[in-house]
A = this chain, B = another copy of it.
Amino acid sequence: MRDNDVVWHSGAINRSRWERRNGHKSAIVWFTGLSGSGKSTLACAVEERLHGSGYRTCILDGDNLRHGLCADLGFSDEARHENIRRAGEVAKLFVDVGIIVLAAFISPFEQDRQQVRALVPAGGFFEIYCKCPIEVCEQRDVKGLFWRARRGQVRHFTGISAPYEEPVAPALTLRTDQHGIHESAESVIAMLHASGVLRLPQQQTA
């Protein structure tokens, strides 16, 4: 078998049908930033709000995926590329069934993030930069990783021994050291409202 022997099957129910069923569009909301910048916390806070309003969501979390789909990957640049490639492909599968994906990944490389953007239709990818000075992330150090990284016990640690490329043109930059979780979550929701993702059919026809 070769790759070009593989035939594509178009499923019975496409994205548009799921979006009509759900009453909103699907999209990838991609939270990027240093470890400890609040990506996962923010993604969960946004999901809680969206769920409460009846939206279909799912969380893809970098740490969680590394326990499953990406358990075979390390933290070299190459492994990080593959990690984000897989995360993007999975996010696309959720978008295909009308779901708003809240993805929280350090995703240090601009090119990887742009590759995910290219997987979904234009306007379906929102990059949220959780911007927080590394000193603040290090003070929080919820996982104790900075402490160990400073002592050389953790290799390839983003911001210390591995690079982080800031987003070039994010949909939103949130200073998570200056604003609380409530305010940040509301900013994301407002951005999604403004972009039309959360529009329900009755609002479209009104």
Contact = CB atoms under 8 A, between A and B. Distances in A.
Given A1-B156, A5-B145, A7-B63, A12 B68 contact: no
Q: How large is the interface on A (under 10, 10 to 19, 20 to 34, 35 or more residues)?
A: 35 or more
B2 A63 contact: no
A114 to B, nearest CB: 17
Contacts of A21: 51
A154 B1 contact: yes
A61 B74 CA distance: 27
A12 B44 CA distance: 5
Interface of A: 1-3, 5-9, 11-13, 17, 21, 40, 44-45, 47-48, 51, 57-61, 63-64, 66-69, 71-72, 74-75, 82, 86, 89-90, 92-94, 96-97, 99, 104, 119, 142-143, 145, 148, 154-157
Contact of A11 (B61, B86, B119, B156): B61
Contacts of A3: 66, 71, 74
Given A1-B75, A12-B45, A47-B13, A7 B143 contact: yes
Contacts of A61: 9, 11
